[in-house]
Structure 1
Amino acid sequence: MAATAAIPIFNPQARIHTERLGNGLSCLVVDDALLDPERLLQFAVTQRQAFQPVDFNAYPGIYLPAPREILVALEDFFVRNVRRLFDARRSLHMHCRLSMVTTPPQTLRPNQWICHRDSDGLNAQQSVQASVLYLFKDETLGGTSFYEQIRSVEETAQLFRDAEKFSAADFAQKYSIEPGYIQQSNRYFKQIGRITPKWNRMIFYDGNILHSGDILAPEKLSADPRIGRLTLNGFFTSRRNAV
């Protein structure tokens, strides 16, 4: 995508509302987010062979760094419209990428069977916010679901550690969690909300909230951006508000 700084990318007439989750938490929903979402989709189609397997976290699929003009526009939208709604006083850095969930359920690792946070590794003075822009029209591909832990902090931390190092068989035996994408509450996590995907819908949420892609029809997953679960994922690290 050629740089077109003078042309707005985000829709100034986008419809923004707050979706309430359980436990007093919430998610910001932006409908009709981009002025021309088809342009970003076509970019992904033309760059299909450049997508690479994710090897830096537990995301179960492939990714492509977003064009710089998208990164700049998303950061500007976040600063102007979103940051003040979170514990985010000043933006420190951000990154975004195009992503597609492609991993079959039977080959997922244990750390991909459960929900996760985006805030691991942050110091106490920082917060992280995340965004997902849905760039697919088949809503059965699934949106995003949110969770809270049921067990103690210690038990939950041990589960996350074991998910990183146990074999699939050992993890399933110890925790009685079925292999595959998390789709509902279980013995360790309670689902507190679910955002339905919609073409050109974008959501923003606190990265410390447990969440997962809501993969309800894994048989439809594809590496083809024209029919797969293509999203634009953004991550924003911020300085927390002064107390």
Structure 2
Amino acid sequence: MNGRSPDVPPAFEVRTSRATLPVAHACSIFQIIVMPPHADLFALSPSAKARCEWIGGKVPVILVDDLYVQPDAVRAFALELPFTPAATHYPGRIAQMCEQNPSCETLLRWARELATATLLSICPLYANGRSIARFGEVVTDFAIVDVHPSALSPKQRIPHVDAVPAFGLIYLNREERGGTLFFDKVRDSEPSATGYYTASGASYQLLGRIEPRFNRLAIYPGTVPHSGDIAGEWINGDARFTSPRLTQRLLFAP
């Protein structure tokens, strides 16, 4: 037996509490808590293991391959969320989680401890002028890149740094949709003439690239200039809408 009533569907959990009533009328009141069908959607794969790689010998990146048990289901779920234009200079749309999810909360706790134990041990990071001893909060959302190269704003045509000290991306594309590029800033930047910034230029020198392996998590310092490796026919045509570049983002804060 698994402790669940045989008459209750698997999508429900049953909890029992004792009511405060006169002894003659004491009874058990059953509270049926509805759990969403995707309650274990973000379950971590037992084969997921972390390692560190250095991009260009300068940027530490924590990589975890085969992160999720159900990565295709995560992608399908995410694409059903209501995406809206990003409020920042992100070249696309963002979707928030619409409800709490037990397995997602487990993921965020695990990612927070992983980033604290690995990234902070090899890469000192700071917030408000103070060294970060551990990460205290991680939030997540989903992001789609779908802005045509000709429609980019000036700030979208140069590498950027993040508003948080560390950032995580989970790549959720089986098709090639581009990884993440890191740069050294050489001088004050000028926007690229056209399109996304994907190669060395007068203002930034390319250090290297995170390969966008499907179901891969990458955690890196948000303080290093970086950009999505957005190139190819897909970003110029309908594929940017019908089969978009989708990532799950993790934002780490002290």
User: TM-score when scaled to structure 1?
Assistant: 0.76
Confirm or deny: 8 A CA contact 2:178 2:231 kept in the other structure. Answer: yes
Q: Which residue of 1 aligns with 2:79?
A: 45
Is the partner of 1:183 in helix, strand or coil? Answer: coil
Q: Which residue of 2 aligns with 1:12?
A: 46
Is the partner of 1:27 in helix, strand or coil? Answer: strand
Q: Which residue of 2 aligns with 1:237?
A: 253
Query: Residue 73 in 1 paired to residue 106 in 2?
Result: yes
Query: Residue 62 in 1 paired to residue 93 in 2?
Result: yes
> Compared with structure 1, are the counterparts of its residues 179 and 43 closer, same or farther at alpha carbon in structure 2 (3 Å cutoff)?
same
Confirm or deny: 8 A CA contact 2:157 2:191 kept in the other structure. Answer: no
Q: CA-atom RMSD, angstroms?
A: 2.3
Query: Residue 202 in 1 paired to residue 217 in 2?
Result: yes
Q: For 1:223 and 1:178, how far apart are their aligned partners in 2?
A: 24
Structure-to-structure mapping, 1:84-103, within 5 angstroms: 84-85=117-118, 86=120, 87=124, 88-103=132-147
Confirm or deny: 8 A CA contact 1:20 1:26 kept in the other structure. Answer: yes
1:138-194 C-alpha deviation (Å, 9 max, x unpaired): 12x10111111112xxxx3xx4xxxxxxxxxxxxxxx47312101111101111110
Q: For 1:5 and 1:228, how far apart are their aligned partners in 2?
A: 25
Q: Which residue of 1 aligns with 2:240?
A: 222
Q: For 1:194 and 1:8, how far apart are their aligned partners in 2?
A: 26
Q: For 2:184 and 2:203, how far apart are their aligned partners in 1?
A: 9
> Compared with structure 1, are the counterparts of its residues 216 and 81 closer, same or farther at alpha carbon in structure 2 (3 Å cutoff)?
same
Q: For 2:78 and 2:100, how far apart are their aligned partners in 1?
A: 14
Q: For 1:20 and 1:90, how far apart are their aligned partners in 2?
A: 21
Confirm or deny: 8 A CA contact 1:10 1:77 kept in the other structure. Answer: no
Is the partner of 1:91 in helix, strand or coil? Answer: coil
Displacement after TM superposition at 1:35 (Å): 1.3
Q: For 1:216 and 1:204, how far apart are their aligned partners in 2?
A: 22
Identify which range, 29-38 or 97-106, moves more after superposition: 29-38
Displacement after TM superposition at 1:93 (Å): 2.6
Whichever structure has more helix as a proportion of its residues is: 1
Q: 2:159 is aligned with what amino acid?
A: C
Q: 1:64 is aligned with what amino acid?
A: A
Query: Residue 211 in 1 paired to residue 211 in 2?
Result: no
> Compared with structure 1, are the counterparts of its residues 8 and 20 closer, same or farther at alpha carbon in structure 2 (3 Å cutoff)?
same
> Compared with structure 1, are the counterparts of its residues 5 and 149 closer, same or farther at alpha carbon in structure 2 (3 Å cutoff)?
same
Confirm or deny: 8 A CA contact 1:71 1:95 kept in the other structure. Answer: no
Match of residue 144, structure 1, among 137, 158, 180: 180
1:212-232 C-alpha deviation (Å, 9 max, x unpaired): 1110222255234xx210110
Size of the aligned set, in residue pairs, is: 204
Q: Which has the larger radius of gyration?
A: 2
Q: Which runs of 5+ in 2 are unaligned?
A: 1-34, 125-131
Q: For 1:17 and 1:138, how far apart are their aligned partners in 2?
A: 24
> Compared with structure 1, are the counterparts of its residues 100 and 8 closer, same or farther at alpha carbon in structure 2 (3 Å cutoff)?
closer
Displacement after TM superposition at 1:40 (Å): 1.1
Displacement after TM superposition at 1:22 (Å): 2.2
Displacement after TM superposition at 1:32 (Å): 0.3
> Compared with structure 1, are the counterparts of its residues 8 and 101 closer, same or farther at alpha carbon in structure 2 (3 Å cutoff)?
closer
Q: Which runs of 5+ in 1 are unaligned?
A: 120-126, 160-174, 239-243
Confirm or deny: 8 A CA contact 2:42 2:70 kept in the other structure. Answer: no
